[in-house]
Amino acid sequence: MELTLLGTGAPRGLPRPGCPCAVCARAVGGEARAATALLVDGALLIDLTPGPAFAAARAGQSLTAVRQVLLSHPHDGPALEVPAGLPQPGRVADGRELALLDGHRVRAVAVDVPGTGYEIGGPDGERLLYLPPGAAPAGLGEGNGTTAGRGDAHGAGGGPYDLVLLDVLARPDALARLRAGGAVDAATDVVAVHIDHGVPPGPELHRRLAAAGARAVPDGSSLVVGEYHAVPDLPRRTLVLGGARSGKSAEAERRLAAFPDVLYVATGGTREGDTEWAQRVTLHRERRPGSWRTAETCDLVPLLLDDGAEAAAGAAMGSAPGAGTDLGAVPGPGTGTGRKPGAAPLLIDCLALWLTHAMDEVGAWDDATWEAGGRQALRERTDALVAAVRATRRTVVAVSNEVGSGVVPATASGRRFRDELGRLNAAFGAECEQLLLVVAGQALALRG
């Protein structure tokens, strides 16, 4: 089954007409994208892009053999153009199946926005899923995690799709749902469509998609469904550094937004009477996907070393000041993903607060205590943490402050913290496949 993308952009295209933003200004030449439209084996057209006949011709295709035109979403872009000779566009009701004479089978999939997703099965058993802009599947079956009804949709017993096309940038949670349900696995080719002006084109676009295990292709690209494509190699350990309000936490969260069962490890805890800190914590919580779980703890080593440590950590945290958990109703770790239960990705935010807690416990702020054994005690804790990062088999994204480039602290304890955090960042980063520095919201790759 061959798929030609006549367009890969949002319904209004990229650049958006009349938009003065920097992304639209840069979306020229090969970075410009027409509204997303799919041509399947020359016979099935899903969604319409401006000038579809010319778009097909530029891609080396023709619309003369098209026997069915389907729409996936209400159209609010430029006026639809239906070339002469094509059937009138229509939609398939959710849950209904359409069999085409050439052997393709199309099943409508319910989504959580106005519109319809489509499963398409080819004559040889290949399977793809296409979702409309801003959409996630609304009917994930309970237990087996597959899209409702898809087990017998093509007589192939369901399982992971060969190809998935969706709005990865606007709805990374949709990809997380598909992964949690087993509809997307490590071999699924995930292609981003409906690309809008929220992310700069070029390297930044491809970097963000690669972090989600997805890719983008230019308008006019043809893909063979089921043909092997190198899936972006996701780093298992990543350290994200940055200054205050640099966007480092948002970058770390973005790197795991397309994956299910994430355990967010907050090392800051709570601070009674500090309303400004409470507001910061609230903002962080509101920004995270609702399916993520939260653990407030500085006991990181067990989480890194033990695939099933969340339950034990949750019990232990009850005795620690400010500790707690927020384990919302989400699928169990590893559901439909092939991972062992408990091997959820970890997002640790942040190492600077972990170090503050460790220095508190060893009395590192007092000069006499520091020299009398505090230094050695802290070194043992940081060495244990670094060793755990080296040994972990979990996906880990950690956040830390980069404080060595600013004003020299006025106190000996302040300089001690700055020096120890620098050492910790260097040692932790040495064990990570990827190291990022975030400046003014822009992520710069230092490694990987």
Residues forming the active site = 284
CA dihedral of 334, 337, 340, 346, whole degrees rounded to 10: -60
Tell me the one-letter amino acid at 429: G
- 3-state SS record for 88-135: CCECCCCCCEEECCCCCEEEEEEECCCCEEEEEECCCCCEEEECCCCC
Give the DSSP letter string of 307-329: TTHHHHHHHHHTTSTT-EEE--S
**Which value, in Å, is the radius of gyration of the alpha carbons in the chain?**
25
Distance CA 338, CA 160 (A): 12
Q: Identify the CA nearest to 134 among candidates 183, 213, 198, 180.
A: 198
Task: Write down the number of H helices and E strands in the chain.
Answer: 12, 19
Separation in Å, CA 128 to CA 2, 11, 150, 210 = 11, 21, 12, 20
Task: Identify the three-state secondary structure at position 39.
Answer: strand
Q: Identify the CA nearest to 233 among candidates 247, 261, 214.
A: 214
Q: Residue 321 is encoded by which pair of tokens?
A: 């000041």
CB 134 within 8 A of CB 113: yes
Q: What sign has the CA pseudo-torsion 358, 236, 252, 265?
A: negative
Q: Identify the CA nearest to 296 among candidates 319, 272, 327, 269.
A: 269
Give the DSSP letter string of 159-227: -S-SEEEE-TTT-HHHHHHHHHTTSS-TT-EEEE-SB-TTS-TTHHHHHHHHHTT-B---TT-EEETT-
Length of the chain: 448
Residues with Cβ within 8 Å of 60's Cβ and at least 6 positions away in sequence, in order, are: 220, 222
Q: How many CB atoms lie within 10 A of CB 222?
A: 13
Q: Identify the CA nearest to 74 among candidates 95, 47, 98.
A: 47
The single-letter DSSP state of residue 333 is T
